[in-house]
Amino acid sequence: MKRLENKVAIVTGGARDLGRAVSVKLASEGAKVVVNYFDNEDDAKVTRDMIKEAGSECIIVQGDMTKAADVKRIVDESVKAFGNDIHVLVNVVGGIVGRKKITEQDEAWYNFLMDVNMKSCWLCTREVVPHMPKGSSIINFSSLAARDGGGPGASMYATAKGAVAVFTRSMAKELGPDGIRVNALAPGTIATSFHDRFNTPENRERMKGIYPLRREGDAGDVADLVCFLACDESDYITGTNIDINGGIFFS
With respect to residue 171, please indicate whether it lies within any of the assigned structural domains: yes
Query: Which domain covers residue 30, as residue numbers?
Result: 8-244
Distance CA 159, CA 247 (A): 22
pTM, rounded to two decimals: 0.93
Would you say 38 and 13 are in contact if contact means Cβ atoms under 8 Å apart?
yes
Residue 248: what pLDDT? Answer: 81
Would you say 51 and 26 are in contact if contact means Cβ atoms under 8 Å apart?
no
Would you say 78 and 11 are in contact if contact means Cβ atoms under 8 Å apart?
no
Residues contacting residue 104 through CB under 8 Å, at least 6 positions apart:
none
Q: CA geometry: angle at 167 spanning 227 and 211, to 5°?
A: 55
With respect to residue 237, please indicate whether it lies within any of the assigned structural domains: yes
With respect to residue 79, please indicate whether it lies within any of the assigned structural domains: yes
Helix-helix angle 155-175:120-128, to 10 degrees = 20
With respect to residue 251, please indicate whether it lies within any of the assigned structural domains: no
Residue 196: what pLDDT? Answer: 62
- 211 is annotated as an active-site residue: no
Distance CA 76, CA 80 (A): 6
With respect to residue 250, please indicate whether it lies within any of the assigned structural domains: no
Residue 132: what pLDDT? Answer: 99
Tally of structural domains, the chain: 1
With respect to residue 2, please indicate whether it lies within any of the assigned structural domains: no
Residue 94: what pLDDT? Answer: 95
With respect to residue 249, please indicate whether it lies within any of the assigned structural domains: no
φ/ψ (deg, to 5) at 55? 90, 20
Per-residue pLDDT of the chain (251 residues; tens, 9 = 90+): 899 999 999 999 999 999 999 999 999 999 999 999 999 999 999 999 999 999 999 999 999 999 999 999 999 999 999 999 999 999 999 999 899 999 999 999 999 999 999 999 999 999 999 999 999 999 999 999 999 999 899 999 999 999 999 999 999 999 999 999 999 999 988 877 665 665 677 767 777 677 777 777 899 999 999 999 999 999 999 999 999 988 887 75
**Which listed residue (37, 110, 157, 236) is catalytic?**
157
φ/ψ (deg, to 5) at 185? -110, 150
In this structure, what CATH number is given to the domain that contains residue 53? 3.40.50.720
Would you say 96 and 102 are in contact if contact means Cβ atoms under 8 Å apart?
no
With respect to residue 15, please indicate whether it lies within any of the assigned structural domains: yes
Residue 214: what pLDDT? Answer: 76
